[in-house]
Amino acid sequence: MSKLKRMALTCLALLAMTAAAPAATPDTEYYVVLADGQKIGHMVRSRTVEGGNVVTVESMELAIGRGGVTITIGQDEKAIETPQGEPLAFESTQRMGGVVQTIKGDIQDGQIKLTGQGAPRTVPYPAGAMLAEGLRLEQKKRGLTPGTQYTLTAFVPTMMDALTVQISVAAPKRIDLLGRVVTLPEVTTIMQGPTGRIVTTSYVDDSMIAQKTTMPVLGMMLEMIACDKSVALSENDVVDFLDKTLLDSPSPIADPDTAKAAVYVLEPTGEQKLDKFIVTDSQAVRPGADGKMVVTVRPVDAPAGVAFPYEGGDPAALEALKPNRYIESDDERVIALARQAVGDADDAAEAIRRIERFVEGYIDSKNLSVGYASAAEVAESKEGDCSEHALLSAAMCRAVGIPARVVAGYVYVPQLNGRRNVFGGHAWTEAYIGGKWVGLDATRGSFGVGHIAQAVGSGEPGDFFRAISTMGYFKIAKVTVEN
């Protein structure tokens, strides 16, 4: 159920991005963050001019409940730009359940020199992508005349990626700002991510400062509303995100790890279209009647006799061999654990099963209190839940030359959070063997028909776009199991 942490933080980052930076210098704005009307956190944003450059700082904090455990997650982002909005540098710090991760970037000549998380490295800066001040200036130039439409490219340090942002202005509407009713222009923002899109609606004043921003996500309505400092920093309510995202199964699944296949009929519960379920070697997807979606999960077996390390040319497999900031397959401790787990195995199928069993036993403190630790951090702490198991498994596979990726979706459990026969948000691993992506789940000890995939990737925030815009907006109307 760990992906909720990353998804919640990604949602906060996107909410914050749609609230234009203050126009005065210096200035500070405070916002309260609500989920279905309950206070779950706050955001503070400031804009100053330092040494001739514009510095925008956003600090967010969110408390989410998960099965009786409250996790505090937060994010601090600093953007440094010229007065004309040219990006110069950024710094992003994420805080989740005691895990703190910081990454810094200096932007020059179309390149980003990165430090802080993983080995120092240089990556391309997306051409034309803007940070906070650049976005503010462009929005101010375009104005708030109803009918205005335009497209921008925004760089999101949390995601280390650029998003295409489509903005449209509608006629002013009367809105309630915690008891204060005002009339403000409505601005709709569509953010296109790597695997899907997120839609937010903002109401902004004449200074281009968003007074209220809303985003439907995870079956809830997230709101960020401008307010006094005392309100923003007041005590949070306890909202159980885990319970809100559980799906009831229409019937029990007796042996999900041994069954041959399961066919799920998914039914939308609102206006969201169910067009965001992925096809994998273990999962087929086809449209059903009346907007329904039919998902068939038939786990593929890893073919025997495949040697490793991988020496093929499949682009996705080659990408799934590279280390990154969450899957540090080049970390010395991860490499040592991988070699210890694999031992004398020379068959890739046997190697991944050994890794699966090893990680299941190695992470000896299994709990929901860890934030979102990387593979190297898990190798050190031996603690975590599904995301920590998935990332460490993927890193260990890559460390011995077996391509691996992380999958986010749902998994069936007989009982969770006081409810029986439910599906909960989950993360697991797929390894590429003999031309097939094969599932393994170190959290549960095996992969089976109870796993419904929504997104694949390397644990980066952008991987969750597809799940964010689907999770909480459908139900499982029917399940048929083939034993």
Q: Say what the pLDDT of residue 97 is.
A: 65
Q: Is residue 254 part of a domain?
A: no
3-state DSSP helix/strand/coil percent for the chain, to nearest 5? Answer: 20, 45, 35
Query: Do 275 and 210 share a structural domain?
Result: no
Query: Do 274 and 233 share a structural domain?
Result: no
pLDDT tops 90 at residue 173 = yes
Q: Is residue 32 part of a domain?
A: yes
21 pLDDT band, cuts 50/70/90, is very low
Query: Do 312 and 207 share a structural domain?
Result: no
User: What whole-number distance in Å separates Cα of residue 437 and Cα of residue 431?
Assistant: 5
DSSP one-letter code for 289: G
Q: Would you say the C-alpha torsion 339, 340, 341, 344 has a positive or negative sign?
A: positive
Q: Is residue 246 part of a domain?
A: no
Q: Say what the pLDDT of residue 23 is.
A: 42
Query: Do 289 and 236 share a structural domain?
Result: no
Top-ranked range on mean pLDDT: pick from 11-25, 47-61, 210-224: 47-61
Query: Do 111 and 21 share a structural domain?
Result: yes
Query: Do 66 and 212 share a structural domain?
Result: yes
Neighbours of 420 (CB within 10 A): 11
Q: Say what the pLDDT of residue 9 is.
A: 56
Residues 6+ apart with CB under 8 A from 180: none
pLDDT tops 90 at residue 383 = no
Query: Do 189 and 146 share a structural domain?
Result: yes
Q: Model confidence over 77-101: pLDDT tens digits?
A: 999 999 999 999 999 998 876 678 8
Query: Do 317 and 174 share a structural domain?
Result: no
Q: Say what the pLDDT of residue 422 is.
A: 95
- Burial annotation 261-285 (CB, 10 A radius, 16+ → b, else e): ebbbbbebeeebebebbbebebbeb
Q: Model confidence over 301-323: pLDDT tens digits?
A: 999 999 999 999 999 999 999 99
Neighbours of 307 (CB within 10 A): 12
Q: Is residue 11 part of a domain?
A: yes
Instruction: Specify the number of domains making up the chain.
Output: 2
What integer is the mean pLDDT of 439-450? 95
333 pLDDT band, cuts 50/70/90, is very high
Q: Is residue 250 part of a domain?
A: no
Q: Is residue 249 part of a domain?
A: no
339 contacts 400 by C-beta, under 8 angstroms:
yes
Query: Do 11 and 150 share a structural domain?
Result: yes
pLDDT tops 90 at residue 108 = yes
Q: Model confidence over 350-373: pLDDT tens digits?
A: 999 999 999 999 998 766 555 567
Query: Do 265 and 142 share a structural domain?
Result: no
Residues 6+ apart with CB under 8 A from 249: 412, 421, 422, 423, 476, 479
Q: Is residue 464 part of a domain?
A: yes
Residues 6+ apart with CB under 8 A from 194: 161, 457, 462, 463, 465
Query: Do 296 and 203 share a structural domain?
Result: no
Q: Is residue 449 part of a domain?
A: yes
The percentage of the chain sitting over the pLDDT mark of 70, rounded to a whole number, equals 89
Lowest mean pLDDT among 87-96, 115-124, 133-142: 115-124
| Domain region containing 25 | 3-240
End-to-end CA distance of the chain: 27
The CATH number linked to 358 is 3.10.620.30
User: Which is more confidently placed, 464 or 38?
Assistant: 38
Query: Do 192 and 46 share a structural domain?
Result: yes
Q: Say what the pLDDT of residue 194 is.
A: 64
